[in-house]
Amino acid sequence: MPDAPQRPDADDTTAAFAADLRTLRHDAGNPTLGQIERESGVSKSVVSDALAGRKLPSARTVRGVVAACGGDAAVVGEWVARRDALASATSRDPEPDDQAAQEQADTPRGARVVRLSTALVAAAAALVVGVGGTLAVVTGLSAGSASADSEPTPTAMYAPQISVKVGADPADTKCLDDAVVAASETGSRGTQLQIIYSTACHAAWSRITRFDNEATGNEVSTSIFRVIAPHAKDRQSTTEPDAQSAYTTLLVRPTPDTEICATGSITVKGQTIAVGKEVCL
**Residues 69-107: tens digit of each pLDDT:** 998 989 999 999 999 988 888 764 444 444 444 444 333
Q: Any idea where the domains of the chain sit in the sequence?
A: 14-97, 104-280
Mean pLDDT is lowest, of 99-113, 182-196, 239-253, for 99-113
Our CA dihedral for 186, 191, 193, 194, rounded to 10 degrees, sits at 80
CA 109 to centroid of chain Cα atoms: 21
Q: How confident is the model at residue 115 (pLDDT cuts 50, 70, 90)?
A: very low
Query: Taking the mean position of all CA atoms in its chain, how far away is CA 257?
Result: 23
- Please report the pLDDT score of residue 248 as a whole number: 93
Please tell me the class of the 14-97 domain: mainly alpha
Burial 199-233 (b: 16+ CB within 10 A, else e): bbbbbbbbbbbbbeeebeebbbbbbbbbeebeeee
φ, ψ for residue 131 (rounded to 5)? -65, -10
Model confidence, pTM? 0.52
**Residue 211 scores a pLDDT above 90:** no
